[in-house]
Copies of this chain bind each other. A is one copy, B any other.
Amino acid sequence: MLVVKVGGSRGIDYDAFLRDLSGYDDVILVHGGSSELNDVAEALGNPPQFVTSVSGFTSRLTDRETMHMFNMIYSGKMNKMIVEKLQVLGKNAVGLSGLDGRLLEGPQKRSIKIVENGRKKIIRGDLSGLVDKVNTDLLKLLGDNGYLPVLTPPAISYESVAINIDGDRCAASVAGAMGASDLVILSNIPGLLRDPEDETSLIQNILFSEIDDHIEKYAQGRMKKKLLGAKEALAGGVKRVILGDARGENALTEALTGKGTVIQ
């Protein structure tokens, strides 16, 4: 079993990526939609708001209106675009959010401690949370019957509220719960870079024990969550996590042959 996360950032050629993916069996795909959501939110007059937590992680503030737009882009445009392309490639894809069949479940965050203009502040009522339970029965039911699951945030809270979750950490939860051998996280960068401005400064290998250190030293922005996801996946029993570049012709195959940052 292979779990693949493909990011919602710009520059990804979904046709090439999905053509490559369609050569693999026993796959679960998790996708994002962040940059598309930003565009549509702007166009609908509801520009995105991001906050930085005290531990340095960036996340999207999600009120009810944002959650509607989130569903529009993630479960609507992106998920169905991917499902349609996979169907053209002969893969019988089924697209699901974490709400469907309570596929991805976990606690809603009671509050987020953020830093704003150098000052600490607490935000309550944000529709965001974590995944700590995956409906593996439903994923197995689909997989055993020849369907390729295509998963997207949001998740569902224990009180049945839609919650925004990080896509990379969500993929890590799925990989751990399903006992996947590999988790491949693809985005529009080559992997973890020593210098984020220099794509040749790729760090090729990281040991599990070195992850925290690398989060602190090298990771910026969304890369922090990818490494956190990698750590969670390995702790959950996944053998190998690869942070790879989604922009190539055969992004997945290249990542699986070790191109990118390999964490084990």
Taking the full assembly, how many copies of this chain does it contain? 2
Whether the Cβ atoms of A84 and B162 lie closer than 8 Å is yes
Q: 16 new A-B pairs (CB below 8 Å) besides A71-B77, A80-B99?
A: A40-B72, A43-B44, A44-B44, A71-B80, A72-B72, A72-B73, A72-B77, A75-B79, A80-B154, A80-B162, A87-B160, A92-B102, A93-B99, A93-B100, A93-B101, A141-B141
Whether the Cβ atoms of B97 and A101 lie closer than 8 Å is no
Closest partner residue, chain B, to A147 (CB atom):
B101
Whether the Cβ atoms of B95 and A94 lie closer than 8 Å is no
- CA A161 – CA B43 in complex, angstroms? 27
| A156 within 8 Å of B (CB atoms) | yes
- CA A154 – CA B79 in complex, angstroms? 13
CB neighbors of B among A140-189 (8 A):
141, 145, 147, 154, 156, 160-162
CB neighbors of B among A33-69 (8 A):
40, 43-45, 68
Q: How far is the CB of A221 from chain B (nearest CB, A)?
A: 26
| A123 within 8 Å of B (CB atoms) | no
- CA A154 – CA B227 in complex, angstroms? 37
Q: Which residues of B contact A145 (CB under 8 A)?
A: 137-138, 141
Whether the Cβ atoms of B83 and A76 lie closer than 8 Å is no
- CA A190 – CA B88 in complex, angstroms? 41
Question: For this complex, into which size category does the number of interface residues on chain A fall?
Answer: 35 or more
- Which one of A43, A75, A161 has the greatest number of beta carbons of chain B within 10 Å? A75
- CA A96 – CA B137 in complex, angstroms? 18
Q: Which residues of B contact A71 (CB under 8 A)?
A: 76-77, 79-81
Whether the Cβ atoms of B87 and A95 lie closer than 8 Å is no
Whether the Cβ atoms of B68 and A81 lie closer than 8 Å is yes
Closest partner residue, chain B, to A148 (CB atom):
B101
- CA A74 – CA B45 in complex, angstroms? 21
- CA A83 – CA B76 in complex, angstroms? 14
Contact residue among B77, B156, B162 (Cβ-Cβ distance under 8 Å from A68)? B77
Contact residue among B76, B99, B154 (Cβ-Cβ distance under 8 Å from A73)? B76
- CA A156 – CA B95 in complex, angstroms? 14
Contacts A44-B44, A141-B141 hold; do A99 and B72 have CB atoms under 8 A apart?
no
- CA A74 – CA B79 in complex, angstroms? 12
Whether the Cβ atoms of A87 and B73 lie closer than 8 Å is no
Whether the Cβ atoms of B156 and A84 lie closer than 8 Å is yes
Contacts A43-B44, A141-B145 hold; do A99 and B75 have CB atoms under 8 A apart?
no
- CA A154 – CA B44 in complex, angstroms? 23
